[in-house]
Amino acid sequence: RKEVEQDPGPFNVPEGATVAFNCTYSNSASQSFFWYRQDCRKEPKLLMSVYSSGNEDGRFTAQLNRASQYISLLIRDSKLSDSATYLCVVGDYNQGGKLIFGQGTELSVKP
Amino acid sequence: DAEITQSPRHKITETGRQVTLACHQTWNHNNMFWYRQDLGHGLRLIHYSYGVQDTNKGEVSDGYSVSRSNTEDLPLTLESAASSQTSVYFCASKPGGTGELFFGEGSRLTVL
pLDDT in tens, chain B (112 residues): 669 999 999 999 999 999 999 999 999 999 999 999 998 778 999 999 999 999 999 989 999 999 999 999 999 999 999 999 999 999 999 887 667 889 999 999 999 9
Residue A44 sits at the chain B interface (C-beta within 8 Å): yes
Residue A45 sits at the chain B interface (C-beta within 8 Å): yes
Name B17's Cβ contacts closer than 8 Å, sequence gap at least 6: B80, B81
pLDDT at B63: 97
pLDDT at A96: 62
Contact residues, chain A, for B35 at CB < 8 Å: 101
CA distance B54 to B65: 12
pLDDT at B57: 94
CA distance B27 to B19: 26
| Partner-chain residue, chosen from B88, B96, B106, that has the shortest CB–CB distance to A97 | B96
CA distance B73 to B66: 10
Report CA dihedral (A49, A39, B67, A101) to the nearest 10 degrees.
50
How far off is chain A from B35, nearest CA to CA, in Å? 10
pLDDT at A93: 67
Mean pLDDT, chain A cut into blocks of 10 residues (111 residues total):
86 97 92 92 91 91 94 97 95 74 94 95
Residue A91 sits at the chain B interface (C-beta within 8 Å): yes
Contact residues, chain A, for B91 at CB < 8 Å: none
pLDDT at A30: 87
Note whether A24 and A103 are within 8 A (CB).
no
Contact residues, chain A, for B40 at CB < 8 Å: 8, 103
Please answer yes or no on whether B45 and A44 come within 8 Å at the CB atom.
no
pLDDT at A2: 78
How many Cα atoms are found within 13 Å in the side-chain-facing hemisphere of A77?
3
Number of helices and strands (H, E) in chain B? Answer: 0, 11
pLDDT at B45: 92
User: Residue A16: how many CB atoms within 10 A of its CB?
Assistant: 10
